[in-house]
Structure 1
Amino acid sequence: MARIFITGSSDGLGLLAAKELIAGGHQVVLHARNEERKEATLAKIERAEDILIGDLSSIEETKALAGEVNKWGTFDAVIHNAGVYTAPSKDILMINVLAPYILTSLIQKPRRLIYLSSDMHLQGQPKLEYLGKDVERINYSDSKLHVLMLCKAVARKWKDVYANAVNPGWVPTKMGGSHAPDSLEKGYATQVWLATSNDEQARVSGRFFFHQKARQSHPEADNSLLQDRLLAICEAITGIVFPGYK
């Protein structure tokens, strides 16, 4: 039995992954943006260990959320599921990139880390020069490249952790829309598998998965110099040093 924390788990793929993990006998701590969403989530799920609150568009609330997570001790896995698509660039940057950076840096190191990226990261560009000042130039595809870069940096620096990224596909959730063509079940199955499986194929690090298969990713994601620049910029914006960066 594993203990798992999932961000953005009040609905969509995060909630579905939580239900699957709970059905498998695992202990799951969920996350909701505010009290209202927490109450709504309680009506959708049974046997969750807790639902922690924190608005990931706020640096301070994200820091506080990490503190609440740490009160539970060390988790076996953390799934960085939360993300936004149609939102102002500053929220896309904060929720899709800076929040995972903050939580990764501050939460006690788990054995496994899973980050949700997207096949749209292939259309993204690093644009690191814009992260601290011209954030309106950052789009969703860029942010999903950034979170993949973060994942690969973690895999490179934390050899005792399995850190991987997932493309869940274009699935029929609130974000994907009701006419999305990909399988909803397969959209969360890879996260569950990476968080709990002892399969040799799941006990790897620095990979980009789609439907439990490793896929090629944007070549810039593997550039260690760009990864380190991203970590430095995230540190400058948030005031938080990534453990192992320096």
Structure 2
Amino acid sequence: MALILVTGAAGGLGHHTANALADEGHDVVVHVRNQARLTGTDVGGGRWKGVIVGDLAQPDEIRSAARQAREFGRFDAVIHNAGVLHSPDVLTVNTIAPYLLTVLMDKPARLVYLSSSMHRTGSTDLRRLTAGTVSYDDSKLWVTTLALAFASRWEGTTSHAVDPGWVPTRMGGAAAPDDLAAGHRTQAWLATHHDVTPATGGYWYHQQTQAAHPAARDEAFQARLLHALENRTGTPPD
């Protein structure tokens, strides 16, 4: 069985993903912004291998979350699920947090990053990163780019991006048309199965590869984004 970290697991897709993995017998560590959001059954029933607490809108707490994660040793898989939609924190939560957690933690065997079909209308203008004018679409293009940039960066680590669809969670809203179960199935599958093609660098929707924004596969843009994030955080990608 695998040791797996799921960020943003207090509710929504993250909680469903963590539950599905635990039901399969995996050792699941959940990250939450506030431990009070976990139910008593979750915390006291031995369902989780552990709980990591940190507000991913706060750089110091992102670093704290990485330190907490390192105490568990090397994960088999990390699912970067945490995200926000209508918030001034879209850059920090959706892009900077996955970047920092990735480069500060021990490298897992598998990395999975939650993207969105809306990444296709994101901007490649990285001046937005320093100007504070980042949209949700931008943040999802950039985290998709990170996923594909990391796909060949470290020996022994694979990396994928997943579009879970527009699903009826607190973020997606009750009227969202996509299937909630299908929304978490792909990331759980990528975190635990070996018979995945491509083995790394895929952009997935419901266990099928899709075309990502061309910039996400552009090595020059990948390098520019990594450089911009290093400058913003003071933390290099290696």
TM-score bucket (shorter structure):
over 0.9
Q: How do 1:95-174 residues align onto structure 2 when only pairs under 5 Å count?
A: 95-132=93-130, 134-136=131-133, 138-174=134-170
- Aligned partners of 1:40, 1:181: CA distance in 2, in Å? 31
Between the aligned partners of 1:96 and 1:41, the Cα distance in structure 2 is 29
Give the TM-score normalised by the residue count of structure 2. 0.96
State the AA in 2 paired with 1:36: A
Q: State the secondary structure of the residue aligned to 1:87.
A: coil
**SS of match in other structure, 1:78:** strand
Per-residue CA shift, 1:48-104, capped at 9, x if unaligned?
11111000001111011100000000000000000000111xx10000000000000
> Please, which runs of 5 or more residues in structure 1 have no aligned partner?
none
Secondary structure (helix, strand or coil) at the match of 2:237 reads coil
- 8 Å contact from structure 1 (residues 38, 51) kept in 2: no
Q: Secondary structure at the match of 1:164?
A: strand
**Amino acid in structure 2 at the alignment position of 1:214:** T
Supply the distance in 1 between the matched residues of 2:44 and 2:144 (Cα, whole angstroms): 30
Give per-residue Cα distances to partners, 1:1-52, cap 9 Å, x unaligned. 0000010001000010111101101000001102322457836975111111
Contact 2:152 2:158 in 1 (8 A): no
Q: Deviations over 1:211-240 (max 9, x none)?
A: 000100101111111111111111111111
Secondary structure at the aligned position of 2:119 is classed as helix
Are 2:190 and 2:196, in contact at CA under 8 Å, matched by a contact in 1?
no
Q: Is the 8 A contact 2:78 2:108 kept in 1?
A: yes
- Return the alpha-carbon distance in structure 2 between the equivalents of residues 172 and 95 of structure 1: 21
- In the other structure, the counterpart of 2:218 is 223
Task: Find out whether 1:207 has 2:202 as its counterpart.
Answer: yes
Contact 1:3 1:77 in 2 (8 A): yes
Select between 59-68 and 45-54 the one with higher mean Cα deviation.
45-54
Equivalent of residue 233 in structure 2, options 234, 238, 241: 238
- Hey, what does 1:185 align to over in structure 2? 181
Task: Please say which of residues 119-128 and 2-11 is displaced more in the overlay.
Answer: 119-128
Separation in 1, partners of 2:183, 2:159 = 18
Contact kept? 1:19, 1:45, Cα under 8 Å:
no
Residue aligned with 2:159, SS = strand
For 2:216, the aligned partner's letter is: A
**DSSP-derived class of the 2:4 partner:** strand
1:143 CA drift (Å): 0.6
8 Å contact from structure 1 (residues 10, 41) kept in 2: no
Structure 1 residue matching 2:97: 3-state secondary structure: helix
Identity %: 44
Secondary structure of 1:188 counterpart: helix
Match of 1:131, SS state, is helix
| Counterpart code for 1:85 | L
Distance 1:15 1:41, change over 3 A: farther
SS at match of 2:151: helix
CA distance in 2, matches of 1:108, 1:39: 29
Other-structure match for 2:90: 92
Change (3 A) 1:119 1:46: farther
The count of residues paired between Structure 1 and Structure 2 equals: 238
Q: Secondary structure at the match of 2:16?
A: helix
Distance 1:70 1:80 in 2: 15
